[in-house]
Amino acid sequence: DVKVTQSSRYLVKRTGEKVFLECVQDMDHENMFWYRQDPGLGLRLIYFSYDVKMKEKGDIPEGYSVSREKKERFSLILESASTNQTSMYLCASPPGGQLPYEQYFGPGTRLTVT
Amino acid sequence: AQTVTQSQPEMSVQEAETVTLSCTYDTSESNYYLFWYKQPPSRQMILVIRQEAYKQQNATENRFSVNFQKAAKSFSLKISDSQLGDTAMYFCASPSQLTFGGGTRLMVKP
């Protein structure tokens, strides 16, 4: 069974803290994505990675960075958390290849920054 | 840049009736796939249906079907015989899946 897991379902952090959101996939996929989900705005792409140590900015990378040291793990980092980063964060991983196959999503991490 | 627009933030339907969710998109690609995803309350997002742009025939998965109008760049989702378990957020996704629509919250009423 395909599986994408995220380290926390709920997280509460203070303004200015450094926050790590972890995502692990057991499908040996090369591609991994981080989205942010906000009401009325849908999913917005923060960063994605097509290979180990490779990363590409999405539509809203400001305030975020990522790390992909191993194929199965893709971390999203909030260098200095701010209240406007309170949101649901979704990790996803599709199979590789030329065709855009379906995304397999993790359960999400609901982050609150106070 | 690709754009995806879902014009209905919320919809409701009576159980056993049919409902159609709208989606329009913009792309410069000639061959692509489009996707509808479902996110039930407090549960994981899953794929509902996928449409290949070069195929004339609209995709169907049990009670879910699409109305794909390539020239109009329209990709609507029809749910027949709605069930309470269809209550969820529904997202339309662009050909590259790098862009999602704003979502439609569907409530199925008993």
**pLDDT (tens digit, 9 = 90+) per residue, B5-63?**
999 999 999 999 999 999 999 888 777 889 999 999 988 999 999 998 888 889 999 99
Q: How close A22 comes to chain B (CA, Å)?
A: 16
- Could you tell me which residues come within 8 angstroms of residue B42 by beta carbon, excluding any fewer than 6 positions away? none
Q: Give CA–CA dist A32/A91, Å, rounded.
A: 7
Does the pLDDT at position A98 exceed 60?
A: no
**pLDDT (tens digit, 9 = 90+) per residue, B70-93?**
999 999 999 999 999 999 999 999
Partner B contacted by A106 (CB < 8 A):
yes
Band (pLDDT 50/70/90 cuts) for residue A100 is low
What pLDDT score was predicted for residue B10?
96
C-alpha to C-alpha distances, A38 to A35, A71, B101, nearest whole angstrom: 10, 28, 11
Q: How close A80 comes to chain B (CA, Å)?
A: 26
Structural domains present in chain A = 4-96 (2.60.40.10)
Find the CB nearest B47 among A43, A102, A107: A102
CB contact under 8 A, B44 and A106: yes
The more confidently predicted of residues B50 and A98 is B50
**pLDDT (tens digit, 9 = 90+) per residue, A40-87?**
889 999 999 988 988 999 999 999 999 999 999 999 999 999 999 999
Chain B residues closer than 8 Å to A58 by CB:
98
Check: CB of residue B8 under 8 Å from CB of residue B24: no
Check: CB of residue A55 under 8 Å from CB of residue A68: yes
Q: How close B87 comes to chain A (CA, Å)?
A: 16
Band (pLDDT 50/70/90 cuts) for residue A1 is low
Q: Kindly state the average pLDDT of the residues A13-34.
A: 93
Which of the four CATH numbers 3.20.20.140, 2.40.50.140, 3.40.605.10, 2.60.40.10 does domain B3-109 have?
2.60.40.10
The 8-class DSSP code of residue A72 comes to: T
Chain B residues closer than 8 Å to A95 by CB:
none
Q: Residue A4: closest CA among chain B residues belongs to which residue? A: B44
